[in-house]
Structure 1
């Protein structure tokens, strides 16, 4: 089938495009810089500048992974606006594409899988979190809620909408782990604050496999937590990562230091949710890397 991907040249998108190509699907990719994107994607990918450029090539399915990094800079009012708009604008264009294809071709794409994030739940302390857990109202929740609300509008045109609330994505070459590794390799890593906050995580390969699973399962819609079934606290993550690298991790970063450096954005590091992939497991999805030990062992066993 023809699959339209936003964010296709990103850390998750590149691996997804590779797996889609291997499965025989045709890739339609949106990128603000098509030339740069083509160098990172399978040769056959059709890369265009905007979502609506694909009105003449109707996709059968959509995977929406676009959005400015939430941790790129401090959360000023202007930055908060950019974070929301970078997600909402692309998602709104996808809904518009569904509307136009329904009007002109009589059929919108069958499926839209739209990325969201674990931030939807806000700070949940130590309680176990499933897709049914009420969120805690804070900026990260409001950002994800707005993003999801826009994506849901595609259902009005007959498109099955899946909302993927993604944990920290782990693998070589990018994502959260790439930022953590330098100090840990030097033996300068440590927990954040008291380390009790949960860090839902997922191996990039399992995340991509879950997207492929949800593309094929036409009976599934709504929110899905895309994280491994065994989340860990920040302290546990720190110990496990240090152990894999055979380095000490004895330099904790006090909460006040993070709050001084990052302001409100420090909540991403000091709070979390014990997020479980309840609906994926109920649907029969099997994780290849259910524990952090297995995930990191796989990641560090491959040549860099």
Structure 2
């Protein structure tokens, strides 16, 4: 009895020591992945501080003194067209993400909590739609918008973003897990109609999932290049992605524009970072537990 206790303790310590190398390897891989993702952002941040003379003549990690000059030149370029591109991007990303989240909330709640003929077929079609790359749909969407006279308009970029199969899929999964059937039945017993249940019961419980869907859609639309590039011909309607691309194309003949491109890329990241920081507090879990207990 007494001899076996030290052996057990020794084995326990040996097991802990055996697991340490794997933890170190995992941490090293995570740190390497973080550095790999953060290096381009840090490079843009440092390069945006450099003047035209410093951009190609100084070290990559050397911070320059031309950030405010670059921002002033960017604001003055073509009478402030960059800020127009920024407003267009906010319209496309904010409006498209809000509409897409609203459609996903209603559709996901309906598919999760109502039983009707063809429900599984619709859900399977949505899953199939997730597998179709958006690049494949860009040309057909342009032909459709051109046919109805909406090409080269704001609607040509907004409308294709509203129905997003993956967002509906996420909303359906989250509604099924977050909204207890007993809570809905209690509301129906109290005389609440379907619209009231959706507004006062379902949507508050789905809020963390809807915030996630909104963020996914906002970032996807913000970074979308191909759809607005195909749909739009007027540079006054361009988002940042297409606008910076036109600057990059012009920079082949005018190297002085490279500072504006890098500074514009830095400014385009700021709204995304601010959005994630401000909406973090909405990511809460187990909101339905209190509702059921009360």
TM-score, normalisation: structure 1: 0.22
Structure with the bigger RCO (C-alpha within 8 Å, sep 6+) is: 2
Higher fraction of strand: 1
Task: Flag the structure with larger Rg.
Answer: 2
Higher fraction of helix: 2
